[in-house]
Chains A and B, each alone.
Chain A
Amino acid sequence: MSTPTHNGYMLIFRGTDWHKGLSPEEMQQVGEKWMSWFKGLMASGKAVAGNPLEREGKIVSGKNGRVVSDGPFAESKESIGGYFLLKVDTMDEAVAIAKDCPGLSYGIRVEVRQVAGECPLIEKSREAQLVGQA
C-alpha cells in the first residue's frame, strides 16, 4: 500500500449532510478550518486542485446512457461532496492528510484513491492538441 508513485492521489469526500444541525458559528468555524487546511496543502504543493461539487447532477447508465437518474446528492452518506487532488508520493501520506479533514468528526468519510497514471489516451490526445497549436 505504500509503493511510491509519481501519479498522486485523489481524496473523495463523501457525505453531504454532515453540516446539518451545526450552528452558524460552528459552520463558520469548520468552514474556516477547511479553507486553511486546503490552502496549506496547496501552498506546500501537496495538493494541486480541489473543489466542492454542486448538490445536483445525474447518474447515467445503460447502453447509450439511456438510463438517467437523479443521484442521492442531498441526503446520502455516500454522496460525493467534493474532492482534492494530491501530489504526495505514498498512500500513507495521502491517508495522513485525509485524517486531518475537519469534517471527519461530523461524519464525513474520506475515500483515498491512488491515481493509476494518466490515461494514455488523454495524454496522447493532449500532446496532439499542443502540436496542433504550435
Chain B
Amino acid sequence: MGKTMSTKNEYLLLFSSNEWWNKLSLAEIQSIYSQNKAWVEDLVAKGKMKGGQALAREGATVSSKNSRVLLDGPFAESKEVIGGYLMLEAESLEEAIAIAKSSPSLQGGGHIEVRPLADECPLDARLRQLAAQQQLATANV
C-alpha cells in the first residue's frame, strides 16, 4: 500500500479487552502495570519495538447499506474492543506469537491478535492469482 520499506518482518499486535482492570485491586493493577513496563522496555532494548499506542474506548463504525453511509457507536458496555496496538519487528510469526504470549496484560483477561503486515494489497494478490490461473487454463487448451 505504497510503503517504501519492506514489511517482511513486521507484525501487528492488537490488544482486546473489556477493561478487565476494573475488576482488579489497585495492588494487582500496579503489579501488572510495572510488569508491562519491564516487558516493553525489554522489547525496546532488543530493537523489536517499532511503536504502539493505546486507543480510547469511544469509537464509531462507518459502514454502508443500500448506498447509504451509516455511523454506529459507541460500543456496547460488555464488548471486547481493541484497546491498543504494538508494532513489532520479529524474525517470524512464531516469534511474534511468543512475544504476545509473554505479555503481562494477558493475566487480566482479554486477548491479543497477532498479524503479519502484508507487503501487497490483497486485491493485487488476488489479481495475480487469477491471472496465473488464467495462464494455466489457456496453456492446457
- A interface list, Cβ under 8 A from B: 1, 7, 10, 12, 14, 16, 19, 24, 27-28, 30-31, 34-35, 38-39, 42, 50-66, 68, 71, 73, 80-83, 91, 95, 98-99, 101, 104-105, 107-119, 121-122, 125-126, 128-129
Determine which residue in B36, B62, B63, B84 has the highest number of CB atoms from chain A within 10 A of its CB, and name it: B62
Closest CB in chain B relative to A66 CB, distance in Å = 8
Say if the beta carbon of B95 comes within 8 Å of chain A: no
Contact of B122 among A1, A55, A104, A126 (CB under 8 A): A55
Asked whether B69 lies within 8 Å of A104 as measured between CB atoms, the reply is yes
Asked whether A65 lies within 8 Å of B54 as measured between CB atoms, the reply is no
What is the predominant secondary structure among interface residues of chain A facing chain B?
mixed
Asked whether A125 lies within 8 Å of B71 as measured between CB atoms, the reply is no
Closest CB in chain A relative to B52 CB, distance in Å = 5
Asked whether A95 lies within 8 Å of B53 as measured between CB atoms, the reply is no
Instruction: Bits for B99-122, please: 1 = Cβ < 8 Å to A, else 0.
Output: 011110011001111111110111
- Residues in B whose Cβ lies below 8 Å from that of A107: 63-64
Asked whether A52 lies within 8 Å of B121 as measured between CB atoms, the reply is yes
Asked whether A60 lies within 8 Å of B49 as measured between CB atoms, the reply is no
- Residues in B whose Cβ lies below 8 Å from that of A24: 127, 130-131
Contact of B63 among A68, A104, A114 (CB under 8 A): A104
Asked whether B1 lies within 8 Å of A51 as measured between CB atoms, the reply is yes
Asked whether A119 lies within 8 Å of B54 as measured between CB atoms, the reply is yes
- Residues in A whose Cβ lies below 8 Å from that of B26: none
Asked whether B102 lies within 8 Å of A65 as measured between CB atoms, the reply is yes
Asked whether B123 lies within 8 Å of A30 as measured between CB atoms, the reply is yes
With A19-B126, A71-B113, A80-B115 given, name 6 new contacts (CB 8 A).
A38-B2, A54-B116, A58-B97, A65-B112, A118-B53, A121-B37
